[in-house]
Amino acid sequence: MARVVKFDEVGGTEVLKMVDEPVGEAGPGEVRIDIRAIGLNRSEVMFRQGFYVQQPKFPSRIGYEAAGVIAAVGEGVDSWSIGDRVGTLPLFKMSSHGVWAESAVVPAHALVASPANFDDEEAAAIWIAYATAWGGLIDIGVTDEGDFVVITAASSSVGTAAIQIARRVGAVPIATTRTAAKRDALLAHGAAYVIVTGNENVEERIQKITDGVGSRVVFDAVAGPGIEALAAASATGGTIVVYGTLSSDPTPFPLFPAIGKALSVRGYTISEILSDPERWKRAKSDLRAGFEEGTLRPTIARSFGFDKIIDAQRFMESNQNTGKIVVVV
């Protein structure tokens, strides 16, 4: 038997329940993982609430990201072996394969080898955050040395990963956050500048930091009306990559800055990288190099025990974290 988190209706954290279930068998093309640590993501909050691209099928499992050890290999799987340390990628349906559990069966194609120099908590905190940030900044934004890069909602796990990735290529990361509470933490985690959007003029501050040149890349998790200030403060030929919708307000298209500055404004999700074998191969290679050399290392905001996983999701919804929230199984 294994403990598994499930829910029978959409709603708040009160719908989540811990249940005991028989350990599943790995079918063709699948593996079973003994899970050691779980990384929390905003997508799981949206999934539980019924606002995600996937809809839960009840009774539904939940969870995209975990690290552990392969305990069983299904028919036709020759790329993995029992005992391999692996992490999971968001390439499955959470309802049937969710990894908020002591044991989970997932498709073999949704696995990636854990870095040898990272423990289980660190291994559970890296792939979704760093692959998302790498795709937006390196693959799409083509961020390079000397570029000014604006990273909104920078205290998230993706935001802190983006700060490190920007620094690794010699760019200048400008972090934004709603209140001053996280300013010092963001500076300590590598941001060159921090803009507090609740009491600073974003456009004016970016222009001042960049001596009027503007930001070459904007990596935006918020969208909403704030995109107009980001566009106004972008450099000529700049790129705005929108990967999140934290704002509940409509997002206007910044027509005149886009035309006048030849801006590229485009949406993006991690699936764009994961679904393209060549791009994912480049991402893995580059990220592994950063993990091994120590320039990329996850910022873990707080760790919870598995019996406190519901408290961990409440903590995520409180928006107090800087970096990744991890659950140790």
For the chain, percent of residues with pLDDT exceeding 90 = 99
What's the mean pLDDT in 307-321? 95
d(Cα 12, Cα 10) in Å, to the nearest integer?
7
pLDDT confidence band for 127 (50 / 70 / 90): very high
Query: How would you classify residue 290: left for phi > 0, otherwise alpha for psi between -120 and 50, otherwise beta?
Result: alpha
- Where along the chain do its domains lie? 2-126+299-328, 128-271
- Please report the pLDDT score of residue 277 as a whole number: 97
Cβ burial 61-82 (10 Å sphere, 16+ → b, else e): bbbbbbbbebbbbbeebeebee
pLDDT confidence band for 91 (50 / 70 / 90): very high
Per residue in 232-267, pLDDT (tens digit) is: 999 999 999 999 999 989 999 999 999 999 999 999
pLDDT confidence band for 10 (50 / 70 / 90): very high
Whether the CB-CB separation of 41 and 65 falls below 8 Å is answered with: yes
What's the mean pLDDT in 197-214? 97
From 3.40.190.10, 3.40.50.300, 3.40.50.720, 3.40.50.2300, which CATH number describes the 128-271 domain?
Answer: 3.40.50.720
User: What is the residue-averaged pLDDT of the chain?
Assistant: 97
What's the mean pLDDT in 115-124? 98
Q: Is 246 exposed, middle or buried (0-12, 13-18, 19+ CB in 10 A)?
A: middle
- Cβ neighbour number for residue 228 with a 10 Å cutoff: 18
- Please report the pLDDT score of residue 249 as a whole number: 96
Which residue type occupies 277?
Answer: P
What's the mean pLDDT in 147-162? 98
Question: DSSP secondary structure string, 101-167?
Answer: BSEEEEEGGGEEEPPTTS-HHHHTTTHHHHHHHHIIIIIIT---TT-EEEESSTTSHHHHHHHHHHH
Q: How far is CA 226 from CA 151, 152, 210, 233, 298, in A?
A: 13, 10, 19, 11, 28
Predicted model pTM:
0.96
Q: What is the DSSP letter of 15?
A: G
- Please report the pLDDT score of residue 191 as a whole number: 98
CATH architecture of 2-126+299-328: Alpha-Beta Complex (3.90)
- Please report the pLDDT score of residue 46 as a whole number: 94
pLDDT confidence band for 173 (50 / 70 / 90): very high
Chain-centroid distance, C-alpha 171:
20
pLDDT confidence band for 206 (50 / 70 / 90): very high
